[in-house]
Amino acid sequence: NAGVTQTPKFRVLKTGQSMTLLCAQDMNHEYMYWYRQDPGMGLRLIHYSVGEGTTAKGEVPDGYNVSRLKKQNFLLGLESAAPSQTSVYFCASRQQGARSEKLFFGSGTQLSVL
Amino acid sequence: ILNVEQSPQSLHVQEGDSTNFTCSFPSSNFYALHWYRWETAKSPEALFVMTLNGDEKKKGRISATLNTKEGYSYLYIKGSQPEDSATYLCALPPDAGNMLTFGGGTRLMVKP
């Protein structure tokens, strides 16, 4: 059982380049999330989705776009990367329902923007 | 945005010591509190989810308590071991919606 899988694991971009991070889960979860982790800042929510075809903004959505065309996949896009987007990105998912449902995390993507 | 604070930011203890740290949050509109353990180079894993005032949860040597009226939760580790070295995160939903807001974490280092 793979759980939550993120690709790629590492990436280096030049300023202005674009890329897409892929999150895939095989647990039939409805809710999926993209977080970024920066030193001293904890995990901050970028965007999330409560089901196939839906997306919503989190705390720090600027500079990112997302899509949830299939229930099992949640894509995070950077259209024009900036050095401020250098971070570790985590995808997470959870079952539909109560706010007491725990999150399952992917292993992270380390992104550097030069 | 929900203000979730964790203290201390980091903690160094000797193997065998017991330790505890705090997650503080606004006491109004409480829905649930999550604790996650995050080892270096791995992904965060859920330890506990607590929903009721007075809740106590235990998993091996790790336990947690919750006081929603005063807005805090304690995480305790009894007889710390080097494998307990990790960052411990707490998180709460800020409202009736579907987000989870994380605190900055407490980084625990256990020396053998």
Q: What is the pLDDT of residues B30-88, one digit of tens each?
A: 889 999 999 988 899 999 999 999 999 999 999 999 999 999 999 999 999 999 999 99
Q: What is the pLDDT of residue A93?
A: 94
The minimum CA-CA distance between B53 and chain A, rounded to whole Å, is 14
Low-confidence ranges of chain A (pLDDT < 50): none
CB contact under 8 A, A102 and B100: no
Q: What is the pLDDT of residue B95?
A: 75
Q: 10 Å Cβ neighbour count for B112?
A: 8
d(CA B56, CA B72): 13
Mutation target to probe the A interface, by most A beta carbons within 10 A, among B98, B101, B106, B107 is B98
Q: Which token pair is B6?
A: 């964790």
Q: Which of B32, B42, B104 sits opposite A42 (nearest CB)?
A: B104
Q: What is the pLDDT of residue A39?
A: 82
Q: What is the pLDDT of residue A105?
A: 95
Of all residues in chain A, the one with the smallest CA distance to B51 is A100
Q: What is the pLDDT of residue A98?
A: 61
**Of B26 and A39, the one with more pLDDT:** B26
pLDDT at B29 over 90: no
The answer to whether residues B3 and B25 touch, using CB atoms and an 8 Å cutoff, is yes
Secondary structure in 3-state letters for chain B: CCCCEEECCEEEEECCCCEEEEEECCCCCCCCEEEEEECCCCCCEEEEEECCCCCEEEECCEEEEEECCCCEEEEEECCCCHHHCEEEEEEECCCCCCCCEECCCEEEEEEC
CB contact under 8 A, B46 and A44: no
Q: What is the pLDDT of residue B62?
A: 97
The minimum CA-CA distance between B91 and chain A, rounded to whole Å, is 9
Q: What is the pLDDT of residue A1?
A: 61
